[in-house]
């Protein structure tokens, strides 16, 4: 699907047809997309938990009860659900792992470039740690970039999707033992096939007028 068709045809799906699984190839393409998401100073401060089985979806669905019940069927009836998570800190071990991976991937062609990269990244992180004091928010922004890419990628592939902030993050962190791994959940995305009950499919899109949202200079 081309970009404009995808933009017009996608919407936040409100009901899924349970029991229908997306082809593995299409899901793998989305994993490749997430894996290659851009992030500031290549910090990759994320982790993605993918539920592709009924048992996996049920575990995520435990975080969509009570006030979040409205999202429960969107999790249980989807084909796949991805929990986009963020690190809670940008520690030395992670910075070392990033540098090592960049080295393995062959990015340091010029002598000294590895040290330059490490210094530059750490300077940037220290700016967020000490001057802006916004490391968590900064990491969370990177996760939302990945979310945007994922939603657009799904749309281009004609895959129905729902981004969801409506879930109990503390409950999901517990269920997936995320905090033991220095992670916390940020946003969920269900993927699958919309059902007849997806009322949003028949509603027109609503956006503020372009001239309110764009300034051309
Ligand atoms: C970060 C984010 C969180 C959202 N959370 C939910 C949610 O918990 N449940 C839901 O049904 N829709 C959720 N939505 C869908 C939005 O309501 C929807 O994207 C918006 O109304 C625009 O409509 P459209 O996506 O159909 O174009 C969320 C969207 C975003 C981007």
**Domain positions in the chain:** 3-201
CATH architecture of 3-201: 3-Layer(aba) Sandwich (3.40)
Question: Using an 8 Å Cβ cutoff, are 16 and 74 in contact?
Answer: yes
Question: Using an 8 Å Cβ cutoff, are 157 and 33 in contact?
Answer: no
Report the predicted TM-score, pTM, of the whole model to 2 decimal places: 0.97
12 touches ligand 1 (CB under 6 Å): yes
How much distance in Å is there from the Cα of 131 to the middle of ligand 1? 33
Q: Over the chain, what is the mean pLDDT?
A: 98
In this predicted model, what pLDDT tens digit does every residue of 105-161 receive, in sequence order? 999 999 999 999 999 999 999 999 999 999 999 999 999 999 999 999 999 999 999
Sign, Cα dihedral of 166, 167, 168, 173: negative
User: Alpha-carbon distance 123 to 120, whole Å?
Assistant: 5
Rounded mean pLDDT, 166-194: 98
User: Alpha-carbon distance 43 to 18, whole Å?
Assistant: 36
Q: Which residues are catalytic?
A: 14, 74, 165
């Amino acid at each position: 699907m081309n970009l404009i068709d995808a933009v017009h045809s996608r919407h936040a799906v409100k009901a899924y047809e349970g029991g229908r699984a997306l082809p593995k190839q299409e899901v793998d393409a989305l994993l490749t997309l997430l894996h290659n998401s851009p992030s500031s100073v290549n910090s990759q401060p994320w982790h993605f938990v993918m539920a592709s089985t009924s048992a996996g979806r049920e575990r995520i669905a435990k975080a969509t009860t009570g006030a979040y019940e409205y999202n429960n069927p969107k999790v249980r009836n989807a084909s796949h659900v991805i929990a986009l998570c963020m690190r809670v800190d940008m520690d030395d071990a992670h910075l070392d792992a990033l540098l090592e991976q960049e080295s393995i991937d062959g990015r340091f062609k010029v002598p000294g470039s590895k040290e330059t990269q490490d210094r530059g990244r750490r300077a940037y992180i220290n700016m967020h740690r000490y001057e802006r004091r916004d490391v968590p928010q900064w990491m969370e922004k990177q996760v939302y970039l990945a979310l945007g890419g994922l939603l657009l990628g799904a749309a281009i592939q004609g895959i129905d999707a729902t981004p969801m902030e409506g879930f109990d993050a503390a409950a999901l962190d517990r269920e997936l033992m995320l905090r033991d791994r220095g992670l916390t959940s940020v946003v969920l995305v269900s993927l699958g096939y919309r059902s007849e009950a997806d009322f949003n499919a028949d509603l027109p899109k609503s956006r503020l007028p372009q001239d309110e949202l764009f300034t051309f200079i």
